[in-house]
Structure formats: structure tokens, C-alpha cells
Structure 1
Amino acid sequence: MDLIENRTIDEIILGDRAEIERVLTRSDVTLFATVSADVNPASLDAGDEDGPELQQGIVQGMWAGTLISAVLATRLPGPGTVHLSQTLKFHREVSVGDRISVRVEVTGIDKSSGRVNLECACVNADGEIVVSGSAEVQAPRKKIKRHMARMPITQLKAPGVRFGELVDRARLLDPLVTAIVHPCDDLSLGGALAARDEGMIVPVLVGPRAKIEAAAEAAGLDLHGLEIVDAPHSHAAAEMAVALVHEGRAGALMKGKLHTDELLTAVLNKATGLRTERRLSHVFALDVPGQNRTLFVTDAAINISPDLESLRDIVQNAIDLAIAIGVETPLVALLSAVETVTGKLPSTILAAAICKMHDRGQIVGGKVDGPLAFDNAISPAAAAAKGIVSDVAGYADILVTPNLESGNMIAKQLIHLAGASSAGIALGAQVPIMLTSRSDTVDARIVSAALAKVFYHWRRERPLGLG
């Protein structure tokens, strides 16, 4: 580990110099905007390689000024220095990718008070002065030599960035007429109207008219211009929403204030429902901080303990969704507790069978591997440590869990512990279904609508059956 050593007031002489060099990164910009609470969009949107130059306030003030402070604190005079004052003048703008040399030089010393004056400058790779100024410090009188502190690993990420890109893409498509089933509270009504305002859906409200209107009035929501299909109760609302799909009056369903079982009972009715040859399954889409891709977790909401045929459909549904939103070759990991096949863990046998079904063309699209433990599925380092040679291990896009309990726990841990933004839809029926939860935010409902919309338009050009 590097050592840093100060120069005491008795050691410093006129003309002493010190220098450090840094390259401005996009993370630097985001970090300083976060620390300074600078909410000006130009501070975050600018400065990228393809964007305009950064504002002086963010880069030349805070960033350059902090680098000068770093030289004073670690180089000259070094540890034990007290920063008294600093003046800066900004000459040129700084952009992401610029390499900046930060230099200080001693111009005045007062041995009795211990005060030292230094000229400061930040110079770019072309030799141009970006920032100039002066600083006054209290130099240490005691010699200090210590190891440099380990800097924390900082990961900066605006929540739901990839979901924002998905919503932008969905806006380019025609809004999806969606039956909102029993929207009798402010959350389901507000989420449906927000999705409408973002251009995702055209909501058709299905449920008791009086309750819907009362909920809207209590929440201050305007239902003007919206179609309301009156139904006496939640069971009837689910049946009537399914009927709207059969009549061609709706292309998707969104769950309102009713139990999931009520809605799915109508959807899965053998005579009047929306069954296909594919098993119905749910897919969580998660934008997880620190991950460079959207993660999909399935099935965490519908299938309790899927058998081989059900698991095949669960995998295919997830692959289809990933491809629909733009993942060219989804990487699918069949999860278990270990990465070897053993009769003691039935999930490993199912995983191996699914891989062979993919090899034989019974599942199409992407690449599939398993069994894989969770760490081996998402961490390249963990996969390498186990010696796993696989196109999927360490880089999985889709995490297929062996049962609902494990899937639900993984998804909710990523949401509530890792800070993941989440959305999700159910697939395998004739139309996509947004199974919103009471804990879902408005943003989650909008993104779920975007998933349904993009998938609906993608699937219109493709049959739902395998292949």
C-alpha cells in the first residue's frame, strides 16, 4: 500500500512543488451533482462524449477545486494540513475524458504562524490553464507518515435508467388498449392514468362504476373521456375484462384492486378464458444498481413448483420477453444451490433437462445453462473461481428459479436490499397481463405497461407457439 508523508513547516521552502493527474469521468460528474444537490439537468446531461461541454459550476468549481485540495492534503504540505482559504479563477471548460494536471507551488512562508501560501493551477493535456488561483494553509509542525486510505468503491446510478430507455422506446408505438380490472382505489386508478399520460396505454376501466368514480373523486383524479365498463363486483370485472379481449376491444389486462387469484381464474377458464398452448408465467424485470444489464427473474408469482413441461414454458416466455425488449441473445441460467447435477436436488435434474430441451430445439432463442448457483450465474469472478466454462455463467440475463418461493425472495431482495427498480408482466395468455402489486410505485406500473406494450407489438408479428 502506498505511503504518504507530509512536509512540516520547517521543511518547506519557497518554490516547493507538487502535482497529481486525473481524468474526468462521467461518474465524477454524477457524483458531484449528487453531493452538491445540483438538479440542473445540464449538469448531468452535459459533458458526455457526444454531448455539450459541462457547466463551469459543476466541473471547474467543485471538481478542480477538490483536486487542488487533494494535492494540499496528500502531497504538499500533506497529512496534518489545515486548509484556510482558496481563490479560483476559471479559464476554460472541462469535458469528460479530459486529462487534468493539478499543480501547486509554495510562494510564501510564515514560520512563526505556520502559514503557507501556494499558487495553484489545473492544466489540460494541451498545456492550457483551465483553473488558476491561490491557497493559504496551516502547515503541520509534526512529521506524519501513513498509509494512504483505501477509497470506498462508489457506484453511481440513477434509478431505473434502463427502464427510462424502455419507456422512450414504447412511446414510439401505438398505445395499447388495456382493460384495467376493478380499479377501485387510488393506486390502481392513478397507475393506469399515469401509464396513459406517458403514452403507454388507452385504459378501459372495468368494475363497479360507483366505486371507480368514488375512488377517483377521493384521489382527485379526472376520469373524463375514459370508458367505464360497469361490473357488479371484482369476479365479474375479471370475466368482463377477459370478454373485452375476445371481442377485440382490449389488447392487455392490468390488475386493479382484486386478488391475483380472482383475475387468473377468469384468465385460465378453459371455456371462456385466455389460455394458449403455453403455460402462464410471470417475469420480473429488474434494473439493479451495479449491474450492466436488465435482470429477469421468473417465475416468482404464479407457478408454485413447476414440473418439466411448465418450466420449459416459463423459460420460453422469459426468452421471448427479453428478445422483445431488445436483448439479442438472452443468457438464461437455471438456478439451484449447486452447479452440478445430483439426484439429491431435483432442481438440478430439471435444469439439466431444460438445457437438453434447448439443445433439441424444444426451447428457442438465447443460450441456456444450468444448474447454476446464484453467484455463479451473475458473477464472472464466482464462475471463474469454480472453473465453470460457460457462455451464460457470470453473465446471465434471465434467472429461472426452481420454485415460486425462491423466485419471490430473490426478486424482493433485489428490490428492497439492492435498490432495484422493478416491473413485470405475466405471459403465456392471449394477451400480456400486468399483475401489479399494492406495493408497486407509479413508475413500476408505467414500466410494466411499457413491457406489455413492447411485447404486444413484437408478438403481433410472431406466433405464440414454440419456435
Structure 2
Amino acid sequence: MVIKNFEELIKKVQKSDSPKRVAVVAAQDEHTLQAVFKARKDNIVEPLLIGNKTKIKEVLSYLNENLDEDAIINVEDDTAAAKKAVELIHENKADFIMKGKIQTADLLREVVNKEKGLRTGRIMSHFVFDEIPNYHKLIVTTDGGMVMYPTLEEKKQIIENAVDTLIALGYENPKVAVLAAVEKVNPKMPESVDAALLKEMNKNGEIKNCIVEGPISYDLTMSKESAEIKGYSSPVVGDADILVVPNITTGNILGKALVYSAGAKMAGFIVGAQVPIVLTSRGSTAEEKYLSLVLSAAAAK
């Protein structure tokens, strides 16, 4: 199966037995709480709000929302809020984490803590679902938010993170496009070399449960017509599920171009930890935060 759009994803999550419990770190943020309470009304999440209780209540009052007192956890600062969220995961009192009004580094510091954090041994990477108006299904872009200049081994793990996430959502044998500017290996373009090696790893069974194509340019990935014109044949052309970018800059620009120039909607979270982590930017809209909650709830165990 594949998921065509966010409406399908929302319906899929709403069919689950019960809403997922989300620990919101430094929850005293208007856009974050707008998204959280929309997801709550849609029976997708049940929130635990961690942070400055007085400020959280002020935002709730402004939004005309209510929550039981025991679901609002007062802590002294952002570090304590992040620690509490991780603690709730270990105690099985929450299913995933969402960033509120806290610096990303302050939250991740507690997540990657070697003694008490949420490491799994695999790299943590950014998984984004994009709903693009002229594409026939949701498509993943990775990694435009965590790993700056991934090595070959890190790219392998980034692919595995994305593939495992899609399989958890019900996909079978996702199609992976490892993007480059060209379709032929050029030693002067290291990303093309890595792409070919990743394709070979897939053929050899080192990267499982997916089809990896690369190096492949963006136009061939997204358009069968362009691929036919260039005489490029692959099951991935025009039907990719996952786009793997060579570095964080490429991923960041691609993601923003899709949203701001192509009218795409997006949702993202961090994979590779013990639980999903919603890590939207300060500039993210309430809709993006909401869709990211939906995606994380779908991926949470």
C-alpha cells in the first residue's frame, strides 16, 4: 500500500484503538498548542504538557482550551522539561515527544544522553512527508534537518530509517531515489559515487526491504516522461517513495522550495531514536505542526 495524501494518513491514524500520548516539551507556545488540541479533537493524541505551568495555562486560556491539572507538569526550566519528557518515555507514560518553545539543541541533548537518553545505536535523521499537488502520493525527503554532511555509512542508515518508517506505516518494498545532478558516476561529484555504492549495497542485500536507484537526478525521479526522453529505465522513475539528498543544505532547500514555490504541504519528525520526535522549526505553521503530530502518531508504537 501507499498513502496518497495527508487526508488518508489522518483517517488511518483515527482508526487506531486509542490516541497516542505526546509529551510536549516547553509547551507554553501558541502554535504548538493549537496543533496539539486540533489533534486531540481529532482523536489522534492525548497531550502531556511540560513547562512553566502558569504560562501554559495562560496560552490555554487564550486558546479557550482546557486540560486536566495532572496533564500539565510544572518544571523550572527547559532542560528540566526535556529531561521530564525523556523520563515519561522510559516510564511508558508517553508514546512520543514534541518540541515546544525550547531550543532544538537543549531538547536533543537529553535525547542523546548516553546514560538516560533515547538512543538506539542507529543515526537519528529527519524524515519529511511532502504532499505535492502534481505528484500521485506522499513522498519522503531525507535528510534536510539533522545530518549535515553524511558519510556513506550514515547515508545507508538514513535510508534504513526512512524505509523502516514506511514499512511501519504499511508500505512494501519502498522505492528509494538517491539524488544527484547526473545519472552517471563522476569521481569529481562524490554524491554520485555514494549513490552508486548505495544502489550496489541494495543489490547485495546490505540495504533490505526496498529498491534503491542512484545516482538519479530530480527530474527523472519525478517524471517518467523525462526519463523516457533521456532513455533512463528504472522502476523508481516517476514513482519514488523516498528522496535521499546528499547533504542538509540540499534537503533544506528542496523542502522549502516544495512548500513555498510548489504549494506542497509537509510533516516531519526525527527517526532513529526509541520514539518519534516532532522537531518543527519556530517558523512552522500550526498546520505543519498538526500534520507532524499525525505522522508521528502513525509511526509511534
Q: What is the TM-score normalised by the length of structure 2?
A: 0.94
Off by >6 Å, runs of 4+ in structure 1: none
- Structure 2 residue corresponding to 1:263, chosen from 91, 97, 107: 107
Tell me what 1:178 maps to.
Answer: 22
Q: How far apart are 1:161 and its partner, in Å?
A: 7.3
For the 8 Å contact 1:182–1:205, the answer to whether it is kept is yes
Q: Is the 8 A contact 1:234 1:262 kept in 2?
A: yes
Cα displacement (A) at 1:345: 0.7
- Output one character per residue of 1:148-184: Cα deviation in whole Å (capped at 9) or x when no partner: xxxxxxxxxxxx9711111111011121111001111
The 3-state SS of whatever aligns with 1:384 is helix
> What amino acid maps onto 1:393 in structure 2?
V
| Partner in structure 2 of residue 293 of structure 1 | 137
Deviation at 1:436, TM superposition (A): 2.1
- Once the two structures are TM-superposed, the CA of residue 395 in structure 1 deviates from its matched residue by 2.0
Q: What residue is the counterpart of 1:168 in the other structure? A: 11
Q: Kindly state the Cα deviation for residue 219 of structure 1 after the two structures are TM-superposed.
A: 3.4
Unaligned runs of 5+ in 1: 1-159, 458-467
CA contact (8 A) 1:177 1:252 kept: yes
| Structure 2: gaps of 5 or more residues | none
What are the within-5 Å matches in structure 2 for residues 5-20 of structure 1? none
Correspondence for 2:201: 357
Whether the aligned pair in 2 keeps the contact of 1:205 and 1:226 (CA below 8 Å) is: no
Deviates more, 1:211-220 or 1:175-184: 211-220
2:261 to 417, 433, 437: 417
Partner of 1:189: 33
Question: Would the aligned equivalents of 1:286 and 1:296 in 2 still touch at CA under 8 Å?
Answer: yes
Aligned to 1:319: 163
State the identity %: 38
Aligned equivalent of 1:430: 274
1:326, distance to aligned residue in structure 2 (A): 3.4
The offset of 1:337, in angstroms, is 1.0
TM-score by length of 1: 0.61
One-letter amino acid matched to 2:226 = A
Equivalence map 1:230-241=2 (5 Å): 230-241=74-85
Q: Which residue of 1 aligns with 2:117?
A: 273
Aligned length: 298
| Contact kept in structure 2, 1:200 and 1:453, CA below 8 Å | yes
Contact 2:129 2:268 in 1 (8 A): yes
In structure 2, give the amino acid aligned to 1:166.
Answer: L
Distance 2:287 2:15 in 1: 18
Q: Tell me the secondary structure at the aligned position of residue 226 of structure 2.
A: helix
Report 1 or 2 for greater relative contact order, CA contacts < 8 Å, sequence distance ≥ 6: 2
Kindly indicate whether the alpha-carbon contact (under 8 Å) linking 1:190 and 1:221 is maintained by their aligned counterparts in 2: no
* CA distance in structure 2 between the partners assigned to 1:349 and 1:456 by the alignment: 34
Q: Distance in 2 between matches of 1:370 and 1:190?
A: 41
Q: Is the 8 A contact 2:184 2:215 kept in 1?
A: yes
Matched, 1:284 2:101: no
* C-alpha RMSD of the superposition: 1.7
* Alignment correspondent of 2:57: 213
User: Which stretch of the first structure deviates more once superposed, 179-188 or 438-447?
Assistant: 438-447
The secondary structure found in structure 1 opposite 2:128 is strand
Larger strand share, 1 or 2:
1
In 1: Cα distance, 2:231 partner to 2:158 partner: 28
